[in-house]
Structure 1
């Protein structure tokens, strides 16, 4: 006849529970040094790159403008040292003065006379008119060019890309399309957003999202590492020139 097995004693279990937990293993000296190094890199890296790009832009603009400054008005003539930023200051003053002179009748008359002269030059005429139209469109204060951001299914089904909406397709481009309602889209490339593709796409295929162009550039330049924070607003699809909520989603 088999005897019932005796229950195991719980005293060893209670003893093990009463013991304090073993401390976590301390990190080695090399691991701490590596952590300190990467922490310093995260702090100094953005500052150094920003400082380098700022100096590069200052030197670039100074190199363009400084030769145009008369020696009598150049502070470097009296200081005998190179003063960074003189070209930028002179450019700001010169552009503001040019805008002031152009705002009156005499200035507009001179501008019209100069444009008539350029209009007689075959190659220069095309370049000037194209560049002028771009500047007028981009820098128009009440315009919306490249201020609206969207997502399109590009370059294939199931693959989505960020895009900048330049505006509605008009003129001869719109006349050549099968139906109205197309948009001019710029799809920037990563990590250099100054290059990309120009696409004419129907507005029903463009999903407008509520992020700024600056955030788009951050996403593209970081190759997706930096992402904009989620907002409570829902993505909105452009339909018939009016933004509205996605089908099936409440407004």
Structure 2
């Protein structure tokens, strides 16, 4: 029985990561393949080839992103984007949703933005208990007016699903900036601490 149990768990360790990875990739490719619906029916790869090949939607999505990015990077494109933003900002309800989403996307995807660029250690949910979090910016507006010290906004993800979590404002001095990358920190969180990234600290730093 001990041998059977060992073989069972070994089989799970070998198969589960591959199955889950294949499922996630299949879901992503299947979702992006829906982009093909914007093409005329006669232009669909399935129609032209006579059989289905998954992944054409991924290529089409990448092509659209590159074309839109190239257009929005020149003078005329920037003017069009500015005009479109001004038009949407005049539509009730829609402007509230659009402006919020745009602010978040500008912060996350802007090359000059600092959101989710740094992983830190913070005490959460109480003093003496530590967790990994991500810096999303600094408080501003009315919130900043009430804070008398230097604070940072951080996102504390839950595990094993980091897409949900908590937004908290903590003193910068209470955060310990980590050397690990954001990707490594996410792996650490998703694995519930099992997959720990290698230490990037020098021997002198670890002694302090």
- TM-score if structure 2 supplies the norm length? 0.89
Give the superposed CA RMSD: 2.3
8 Å CA contact 2:179–2:201 kept in 1: the answer is no
Matched, 1:97 2:67: yes
Question: Which residue of 2 is the match for residue 118 of structure 1?
Answer: 88
Structure 1: 5+ residue stretches without partners: 1-29, 236-244
Matched, 1:55 2:26: yes
Mapped partners of 1:220, 1:105: distance in 2: 42
Superposition pairs for residues 91-170 of structure 1, below 5 Å? 91-170=61-140
Q: After superposition, what is the alpha-carbon deviation per residue over 1:149-191, rounded to whole angstroms, capped at 9, x for unaligned?
A: 11111111221111111122223321122x1311001111111
- TM-score if structure 1 supplies the norm length? 0.75
Select 1:226's aligned residue among 192, 195, 199.
195
Select 2:166's aligned residue among 194, 197, 215.
197
Structure 2: 5+ residue stretches without partners: none
Shift in Å, 1:127: 1.4
* Alignment CA distance shift 1:106-1:142 (3 Å): closer
Superposition pairs for residues 28-47 of structure 1, below 5 Å? 30-47=1-18
Shift in Å, 1:194: 0.7
Shift in Å, 1:33: 4.3
Matched, 1:212 2:162: no
Mapped partners of 1:41, 1:103: distance in 2: 48
The farther-off stretch of 82-91 and 211-220 is 211-220
8 Å CA contact 2:41–2:47 kept in 1: the answer is yes
Mapped partners of 2:202, 2:2: distance in 1: 43
**3-state secondary structure, aligned to 1:122:** coil
Mapped partners of 2:121, 2:56: distance in 1: 42
Matched, 1:173 2:143: yes
Mapped partners of 1:233, 1:209: distance in 2: 13
Shift in Å, 1:74: 2.0
The farther-off stretch of 43-52 and 99-108 is 99-108
Bigger relative contact order (CA 8 A; separation at least 6): 2
**3-state secondary structure, aligned to 2:177:** strand
Mapped partners of 2:81, 2:60: distance in 1: 22
Mapped partners of 1:128, 1:234: distance in 2: 49
Mapped partners of 1:188, 1:66: distance in 2: 34
**3-state secondary structure, aligned to 1:186:** strand
Mapped partners of 1:209, 1:105: distance in 2: 39
Larger Rg: 1
Shift in Å, 1:49: 0.8
8 Å CA contact 1:174–1:180 kept in 2: the answer is no
- Matched residue pairs, number? 208
Shift in Å, 1:68: 0.6
Greater percentage in helix? 2
